[in-house]
Amino acid sequence: MSPGILGKKIGMTQVFRPDGQVVPVTLLKAGPCTVVQRKTPATDGYDAVQLGLLEYIKAQRINKPRTGHLQKAGAEGTRFLREFRLDKTNTPGSGDLKAGDQVLVGEFKPKDKVDVIGISKGRGFAGVVKRHNFRGGEGSHGSMFHRAPGSIGSSSFPSRVFPGMRMGGHMGDEQVTVRNLEVIDVDTEDNVLVVKGAVPGPNGAYVVVRRAKN
């Protein structure tokens, strides 16, 4: 059994539970995936499995070194590759995976817990109010202090700005992990995984779905 699967975000919707409760869900096009490489402590120094998402990609979009790497596992046309580390906490049987094996969405079941990893939407340059949820100053009485960050350090000592000071800058476009999302439904015919809640990234973005550790 694979420790995870690769896919794309389709979008959000809502479903009804048998008791009538409305549940917000995200649809993920999960798989099919191929095991491109099986890494072992003897050959690579650690235990992991490398998966590739099978999709239509033009041959010229993949460079020659990657093409040769994929041909060894019979996974030509695979562009999105990610590794899953294997250890004692992984699902039993994950160590039996070998190059060329298929990983399908049917390995997940409703009520399973998964972690979803994606790249958040890029927001460009943003100030401290939007980026760090600063309160800002008064909006009237001539305060001249509406959306400014305030003091960022003393002048006499330490006479510098400490690293990590929260300021305006590039917002989003970074890796985000949402943990312990519940699997609501699994559609094995269309390779769709339905998870409860929101998933980082825009529609059509690549995501990594791994089994939750807790």
**CB atoms < 10 A from the CB of 6, how many?**
27
Please state the rounded mean pLDDT for residues 39-60: 85
Q: What is the pLDDT of residues 66-125, one digit of tens each?
A: 888 888 777 777 888 899 888 755 555 566 788 878 888 888 999 999 999 999 999 999
Specify whether 55 is located in the same domain as 155. Answer: no
Residue 90's CATH number:
2.40.30.10
Look at the chain and report how many structural domains it folds into.
2
- pLDDT above 80: residue 136: yes
Q: Is residue 44 classed as helix, strand or coil in its secondary structure?
A: helix
The residue segments making up the domain with residue 127 are: 123-171
Specify whether 203 is located in the same domain as 161. Answer: no
Beta strands in 17-77 (DSSP E): 22-30, 33-39, 48-53
- Band (pLDDT 50/70/90 cuts) for residue 34 is confident
Q: Is residue 115 classed as helix, strand or coil in its secondary structure?
A: strand
Specify whether 101 is located in the same domain as 153. Answer: no
Specify whether 131 is located in the same domain as 118. Answer: no
d(CA 186, CA 18): 16
Residue type, 206: Y
pLDDT given for residue 91 in this prediction: 58
Query: Count of residues for the chain?
Result: 214
The answer to whether the beta carbons of residues 186 and 110 sit under 8 Å apart is yes
Specify whether 101 is located in the same domain as 29. Answer: yes
pLDDT given for residue 6 in this prediction: 94
Specify whether 197 is located in the same domain as 130. Answer: no
Specify whether 64 is located in the same domain as 146. Answer: no
- pLDDT above 90: residue 204: yes
Specify whether 29 is located in the same domain as 127. Answer: no
pLDDT given for residue 29 in this prediction: 93
Specify whether 152 is located in the same domain as 180. Answer: no
pLDDT given for residue 171 in this prediction: 95
Specify whether 103 is located in the same domain as 63. Answer: yes
Q: What's the predicted TM-score (pTM) here? A: 0.82
